[in-house]
Amino acid sequence: QQQVKQSPQSLIVQKGGISIINCAYENTAFDYFPWYQQFPGKGPALLIAIRPDVSEKKEGRFTISFNKSAKQFSLHIMDSQPGDSATYFCAASMNRGSTLGRLYFGRGTQLTVWP
């Protein structure tokens, strides 16, 4: 079953607007939550990541909000630009046992930013 559920599947935002992508998980053993950005024909690039001991992490225009009790986390892209148009994946991993570092990915969100 899908360990990490991501929504929406696609998102269209005006230039300068805020893009919000949501993810939810069930396994409370997850202790690392990264977001990846992927352009067509390229490998996923690590964008920003959070551990469950903090509720928010900001890097430039990208912010992760984390709600441990709800088992949800989201990516906010402020002042969205056409160059942000890509597919975004949330993921989760747990560092214990034989599954050390294995990433479980969401299905992805295709973001389009209109100029």
Partner 1 sequence: DAGVTQSPTHLIKTRGQHVTLRCSPISGHKSVSWYQQVLGQGPQFIFQYYEKEERGRGNFPDRFSARQFPNYSSELNVNALLLGDSALYLCASSWSYEQYFGPGTRLTVT
Note the residues at the interface with partner 1 (CB under 8 A): 6, 32, 34, 36, 42-46, 49, 89, 91, 93, 95, 98-108
Decide whether 59 or 79 has the Cβ nearer to partner 1. Answer: 59
Decide whether 45 or 78 has the Cβ nearer to partner 1. Answer: 45
User: Please, which residues have CB within 8 angstroms of residue 63's CB and are 6 or more apart in sequence?
Assistant: 48, 56, 57, 75, 76, 78
Please report where in the chains the tokens 């939550």 appear, as a residue.
33
Decide whether 32 or 61 has the Cβ nearer to partner 1. Answer: 32
Single-letter code of the amino acid located at 42: K
Minimum Å gap between C-beta 40 and partner 1 is 11
Please answer whether residues 99 and 39 qualify as being in contact, where contact means their C-beta atoms are separated by less than 8 angstroms: no
Minimum Å gap between C-beta 56 and partner 1 is 18
Peptide bond into 8 cis (omega under 30): yes
Minimum Å gap between C-beta 96 and partner 1 is 11
